[in-house]
Amino acid sequence: MGLIEFFLGKREDQTANIAKERLSVVIAHERSARTQKRGSDPEYLPKLKQELLDVIRKYAPVQEEDVDVRVEKSENCDILELNINLSDHA
């Protein structure tokens, strides 16, 4: 700190605060993108759906849109949800 700054006090522009603010925004943004990506469907899902469809068709006539397979992620566990709609005359 030089003579003038000593008498005038610290400089106004505390750039570290700006850095912290900018970083907290960008990091929060990138983290949320990461967790969303991780929350997307697992790779096996299409194959699982196809095989389930094949098995069900052995016993009942179903269309592809009658079988709904999805994975839902919550904080503590992942849920594999399976919904099969059987038509009336099955």
Partner 1 sequence: MSKIIVVTSGKGGVGKTTTSASIAAGLARAGKKTAVIDFDVGLRNLDLIMGCERRVVYDLVNLIKGESNLKQTLIRDKRVDNLYILPASQTRDKDALSKEGVEKVLKDLMRDRFDYIICDSPAGIEHGARMALYFADEAIVVTNPEVSSVRDSDRILGILQSKSRRAELGQPPVQERLLVTRYDPSRVDTGQMLSVNDIVDLLAIPLLGVIPESKIVLESSNQGRPVVLESDTNAGQAYDDAVARLLGEKRPMRFLEAQKKGLFRRFFG
Residue 90 binds to partner 1 (criterion: CB under 8 A)? no
Site mask for partner 1 (CB under 8 A), range 5-34, x = bound: -x---xx-xxxxx-xx-xxx-xx--xx--x
Whether 57 contacts 86, CB under 8 Å: no
Q: Which of 47, 42, 46, 82 is nearest to 66 (CA)?
A: 82
Q: Closest CB to partner 1 among 20 and 70?
A: 20
Half-sphere exposure of 28 (CA within 13 A, CB side): 6
Q: Closest CB to partner 1 among 11 and 47?
A: 11
Binding residues for partner 1, rule CB under 8 A, total 22
